[in-house]
Amino acid sequence: MITHADTRLFEWMNSLAGKNWLLDKFVMWSVNDYFIPILMTLLMVTLWFSGRSLPQRERNQRVFIRALTCMGIANGFVKISNDIFFRPRPFVGHDVRMLFYPPTDSSFPSNGAAVTFALATAVFISNRKLGSVLYFLCLVWGFARVTAGVHYPFDILGGWAFGAFTTLFVYYLLIYVEPWVTLLIRAFRRAYLA
Amino acid sequence: MTGDYVLYNFIACLGIIQAAVGYGGIRGLCFFKRPIFAYIFALVVVSASSAWFFTADNRNLKGLEGTEQFTYMIAAAGTALIATVALSSLINRRIKSQNSPTSEDSLGPGFETLKHMTYFQAVKHSLRKKRKQA
Suggest the residue from A34, A47, A52, A115 to mutate for an interface test with chain B (most B CBs closer than 10 A): A34
Contacts of A75 in chain B (CB under 8 A): 66-67
Put simply, the answer to whether A32 touches B59 (Cβ < 8 Å) is: yes
CA dihedral B44, B45, B48, B49 (to 10 degrees): -160
Buried b / exposed e along B64-74 (16+ C-beta atoms within 10 A) = beeeebbebbe
Over the stretch A37-86, which tens digit does the pLDDT of each residue have?
A: 999 999 999 999 988 889 999 999 999 999 999 999 999 999 999 999 99
CB-count burial class (<10 Å; 0-12, 13-18, 19+) for A165: middle
**Whole-prediction pTM value?**
0.90
- Do residues A193 and B110 touch, judged by C-beta distance below 8 A? yes
Biggest distance spanned by C-alpha atoms of chain A: 58
CA distance A63 to A121: 10
CA distance B31 to B44: 14
In single-letter form, the type of residue at position B12 comes to: A
Over the stretch B70-107, which tens digit does the pLDDT of each residue have?
A: 899 999 999 999 999 999 999 998 766 555 555 555 66
Which of these ranges, A30-34, A127-131, B57-61, B119-123, has the smallest mean pLDDT?
B57-61
ipTM topping 0.90 = no
CB atoms within 10 A of CB A31: 26
CA distance B24 to B92: 17
